[in-house]
C-alpha cells in the first residue's frame, strides 16, 4: 500500500515538475458545488453528448455518405435487388451485417433524442429559477446556441440515411430555405449543390454533421462549463446561503463519484433504449424516391413544433410587385427566428421589464416570480400545442377525427391554451406563495411548516432581510426586493 502510494506520488511529482498543476488541481477538488436534483439536467445532456460522440465515431467507420446508385445484396431479404444510394445501403448494412452496428446506431439516435430533451428541460430549469440573470446572460446565450446546434445536428443526422422519411424531411427543409426572401434560391442552390435533391447534399450534411457542428458544440460546451466554474454555480435560498457564498458539496470525493454514477446511469439507459426500443427503422421506409411519400411521416420530436406550425398555418402568403413571400416562410423561417431571437434576448428583456440589473447568485423559486413563471408556462403550452399539431394526421386516424376539424381545433387552441395555462400557473404561484407566507410570523427563523426542503429553501431571512415582501412579489417587484441581498453583494477586495 505504502509502496504504491510512493509510486503515485513520484509520478505526480514528475508531472507537477513540468506542469505545476498541484495547486490548481487541489482547488478544483475542493470546489463547492450546490446540490439540487434540477442541477443534474444539464449533466444528462452532457453525458448524452459523450454517448453521441462515442457511438458516432463507430458509425463513421461503416457509413458511406455517397449518393451514387447501387443495388442492395445484403442480408435483409425484403430489399434484395432494390436500387438505392450507397448512403442508404451502408446504413442498412450497418444495421444488419455489422456486429453491434444496430445497437450503436439506435443508441446514437436515442442519445440525440435525449440530448435535445435534456437541454430543453435544463433550459426550462434555468428560465424558471432566474439563473440567466446577471452575471450569467452570456452563458444563457451559449446554452441557447447549443440547443440550436443540437436540433440542427439532429436533423442533419437523420437526413443522412437517404431513406424515404429523411428524403421527405429534406424536401420540406429545401422548400423552407427556398422561401427566404431574395436569397432563398441562392442559398438552396449553394447548400444542395443545385436543385432538389441536389447531387451533393448528403456529403455536405455529413461534413456538417460529423465535423463542423460537433466541433462547434464541443467548443461551446467547454465555454459553457468554464463559465460555470468561473462564475460558480447558482444556489437556491436556504439557511446560511447568501449572495456572497456557495454552499454545497466539495467536488472530491462525493460529488465526483455521484456525477460519474449519473454518467453511467445515463449511458446505461441509452444502451437499454438502443437495444430494446426500435428507432428510425429505415429498412421499413425504403430508399428515398422523390415522387413517393408515406402517410404519417413524422420527424424527430424536436422538429415536431415546426412540422406542427407548417400544418396549422392558414393558406396565406404575401404577393406584391411580382414578388412573393411563400407560405412556408411564416412557419418555417419566421417562427423559429422569433423563437430563438426571443430566447437569446430574454435575459435583457426581463432585466428591462423589471429594472433589475443587479447580480444574482441566489435562485428564484418559480412561485416567487409569478409573472415570469406564467409566461414560461404559456410559452411551453404554445409549443406543446404546435407539437401536437405536428402529429395531426396520426391523431386523426387514431381517434377517428377529421383532420379538418383537428386543425381548426389546434388553431383555436394555439391562442386559448397558453392563456389558460399561464393564468393557472400565475394563480398557482400566488396560492403557493401565500401558503408559504401564512404560518411564521417571526422572520428570523426559517418557516416551520415542514413542507420539505422546498419550504425551507423558500426564504432566506439572513440574505433578503425582508422576507415578507419577497413573498408578496408583484410584477414589477417592489424596489426593495430587487436589491440583491446585503447592501454590498460584491465587496471589493482591499
Partner 1 sequence: MKGISPEEQSAARRAYLAVVVALSLSILAGLSLAVVYWSGGQAQLEGVLLAVSLLGIGVGTVIWAKRFLPNEEAEEARKPVGSTAEDVSDFSAEVDRGEEAIGSRRLLVGLISGGLGALGLAMVFPIRSLGPRPGRGLSRTGMADGRRLVNAEHEPVRPDDIPLAGVLTVWPEGHEEEADSSALLIRVEDASLFREPVVLPWTVGPVVAYSKLCTHTGCPVGLYEADEHLLLCPCHQSTFEVLAGARPVFGPATRALPQLPLGIDEQGFLVARGDFEGPVSAGFWNRSR
Number of residues that bind partner 1 (CB under 8 A): 108
Burial state string for 301-334 with b = 16 or more CB within 10 A and e = fewer than 16: ebbbbbbbbbbbbeeeeeeeeeeebbbbbbbbbe
Residues between 257 and 316 with contacts to partner 1, criterion CB under 8 A: 257-258, 260-269, 271-276, 290-297, 307, 310-316
6 binds partner 1 (CB under 8 A): no
Could you tell me the smallest distance in angstroms from the CB atom of residue 161 to partner 1? Answer: 17
Nearer to partner 1, 87 or 374 (CB): 87
Could you tell me the smallest distance in angstroms from the CB atom of residue 328 to partner 1? Answer: 5
What is the Cα–Cα distance from 329 to 331, expressed in whole angstroms?
6
Find, among 181, 229, 169, 226, the residue nearest to 30 by Cα.
229
Q: Are 160 and 112 in contact (CB under 8 A)?
A: no
Burial state string for 76-96 with b = 16 or more CB within 10 A and e = fewer than 16: eeebeebebbbbbbbbbbbbe
Could you tell me the smallest distance in angstroms from the CB atom of residue 321 to partner 1? Answer: 10
Could you tell me the smallest distance in angstroms from the CB atom of residue 79 to partner 1? Answer: 17
Nearer to partner 1, 271 or 371 (CB): 271
Could you tell me the smallest distance in angstroms from the CB atom of residue 257 to partner 1? Answer: 4
What is the Cα–Cα distance from 376 to 368, expressed in whole angstroms?
14
Nearer to partner 1, 376 or 391 (CB): 391
Residues between 349 and 378 with contacts to partner 1, criterion CB under 8 A: 359, 361
Sole residue written with cell 456486429:
99
Q: What is the DSSP string of 67-78?
A: --EEE--SS-GG
Nearer to partner 1, 7 or 276 (CB): 276
Q: Are 123 and 136 in contact (CB under 8 A)?
A: no
Of 121-129, 410-418, 434-442, 486-494, which part binds partner 1 (CB under 8 A)? 486-494
Residues between 232 and 261 with contacts to partner 1, criterion CB under 8 A: 232, 240, 243-250, 253-254, 257-258, 260-261
What is the Cα–Cα distance from 285 to 220, expressed in whole angstroms?
35
Q: How far is CA 451 from CA 444, 447, 448, 454, 458, in A?
A: 18, 9, 8, 7, 10
Cis amide linkage into residue 425, ω under 30° from 0: no
Residues between 141 and 200 with contacts to partner 1, criterion CB under 8 A: 168, 171-172, 174-176, 178-186, 188-198, 200
Nearer to partner 1, 321 or 441 (CB): 321
Nearer to partner 1, 229 or 448 (CB): 229
Site string for partner 1, 389-408 (x = CB under 8 A): ---xx---------xx--x-
Candidate list 2, 319, 442, 450; residue touching partner 1; CB under 8 A: 319
Q: What is the DSSP letter of 472?
A: T
Nearer to partner 1, 191 or 437 (CB): 191
Residue 368, C-alpha cell as written in the block: 416567487
453 binds partner 1 (CB under 8 A): no
What is the Cα–Cα distance from 237 to 454, expressed in whole angstroms?
10
Could you tell me the smallest distance in angstroms from the CB atom of residue 286 to partner 1? Answer: 14
Look at strands 323-325 and 318-320 and give their pairing. antiparallel
Could you tell me the smallest distance in angstroms from the CB atom of residue 244 to partner 1? Answer: 5
Candidate list 43, 137, 317, 472; residue touching partner 1; CB under 8 A: 317
Residue 351, C-alpha cell as written in the block: 432585466
What is the Cα–Cα distance from 77 to 65, expressed in whole angstroms?
23
Of 1-9, 13-21, 227-235, 341-349, which part binds partner 1 (CB under 8 A)? 227-235
Sole residue written with cell 391554451:
417
Could you tell me the smallest distance in angstroms from the CB atom of residue 424 to partner 1? Answer: 31
Residues between 116 and 145 with contacts to partner 1, criterion CB under 8 A: 135
Amino acid at each position: 500500500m505504502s509502496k504504491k502510494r510512493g509510486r503515485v506520488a513520484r509520478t505526480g511529482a514528475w508531472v507537477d515538475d513540468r506542469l505545476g498543476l498541484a495547486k490548481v488541481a487541489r482547488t478544483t477538488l475542493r470546489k463547492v458545488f450546490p446540490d439540487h436534483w434540477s442541477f443534474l439536467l444539464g449533466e444528462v445532456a452532457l453525458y448524452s453528448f459523450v454517448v453521441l460522440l462515442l457511438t458516432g465515431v463507430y458509425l463513421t467507420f461503416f457509413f458511406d455518405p455517397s449518393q451514387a446508385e447501387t443495388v442492395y445484396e445484403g442480408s435483409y431479404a425484403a430489399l434484395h435487388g432494390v436500387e438505392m444510394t450507397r448512403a442508404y445501403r451502408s446504413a442498412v448494412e450497418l444495421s444488419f451485417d455489422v456486429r453491434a452496428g444496430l445497437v450503436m446506431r439506435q443508441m446514437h439516435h436515442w442519445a440525440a433524442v435525449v440530448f435535445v430533451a435534456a437541454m430543453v428541460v435544463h433550459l426550462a430549469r434555468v428560465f424558471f429559477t432566474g439563473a440567466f440573470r446577471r452575471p450569467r446572460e452570456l452563458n444563457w446565450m451559449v446554452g441557447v446556441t447549443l440547443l440550436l446546434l443540437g436540433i440542427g445536428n439532429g436533423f442533419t443526422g437523420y437526413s443522412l440515411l437517404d431513406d424515404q422519411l429523411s428524403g421527405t424531411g429534406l424536401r420540406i427543409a429545401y422548400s423552407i430555405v427556398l422561401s427566404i426572401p431574395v436569397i432563398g434560391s441562392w442559398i438552396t442552390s449553394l447548400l444542395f449543390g443545385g436543385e432538389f435533391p441536389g447531387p451533393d447534399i448528403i456529403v455536405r450534411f455529413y461534413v456538417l454533421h460529423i465535423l463542423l457542428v460537433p466541433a462547434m458544440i464541443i467548443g461551446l460546451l467547454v465555454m459553457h462549463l468554464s463559465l460555470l466554474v468561473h462564475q460558480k454555480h447558482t444556489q437556491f435560498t436556504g439557511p446560511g446561503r447568501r449572495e456572497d457564498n456557495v454552499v454545497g458539496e466539495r467536488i472530491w470525493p462525493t460529488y465526483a463519484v455521484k456525477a460519474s454514477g449519473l454518467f453511467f446511469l445515463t449511458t446505461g439507459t441509452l444502451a437499454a433504449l438502443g437495444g430494446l426500443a426500435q428507432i428510425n427503422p429505415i429498412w421499413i421506409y425504403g430508399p428515398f424516391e422523390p415522387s413517393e411519400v408515406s402517410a404519417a411521416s413524422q420527424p424527430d420530436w424536436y422538429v415536431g413544433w415546426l412540422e406542427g406550425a407548417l400544418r396549422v398555418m392558414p393558406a396565406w402568403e404575401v404577393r406584391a410587385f411580382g414578388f412573393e413571400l411563400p407560405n412556408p416562410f411564416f412557419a418555417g423561417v419566421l417562427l423559429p427566428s422569433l423563437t430563438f431571437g426571443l430566447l437569446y434576448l430574454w435575459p435583457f428583456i426581463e432585466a428591462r421589464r423589471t429594472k433589475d440589473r443587479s447580480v444574482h447568485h441566489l435562485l428564484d423559486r418559480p412561485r416567487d416570480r409569478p409573472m415570469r413563471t406564467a409566461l414560461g408556462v404559456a410559452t411551453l403550452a404554445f409549443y406543446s400545442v404546435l407539437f401536437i399539431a405536428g402529429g395531426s394526421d396520426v391523431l386523426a386516424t387514431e381517434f377517428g377525427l377529421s383532420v379538418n376539424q383537428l386543425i381548426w381545433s389546434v388553431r383555436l387552441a394555439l391562442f386559448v391554451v397558453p392563456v389558460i395555462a399561464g393564468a393557472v400557473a400565475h394563480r398557482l404561484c400566488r396560492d403557493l406563495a401565500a401558503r408559504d407566507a401564512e404560518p411564521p410570523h417571526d422572520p428570523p427563523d426559517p418557516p416551520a411548516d415542514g413542507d420539505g426542503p422546498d419550504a425551507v429553501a423558500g426564504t432566506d431571512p439572513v440574505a433578503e432581510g425582508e422576507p415578507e415582501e419577497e413573498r408578496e412579489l408583484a410584477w414589477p417587484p417592489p424596489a426593495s426586493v430587487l436589491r440583491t441581498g446585503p447592501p454590498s453583494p460584491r465587496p471589493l477586495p482591499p
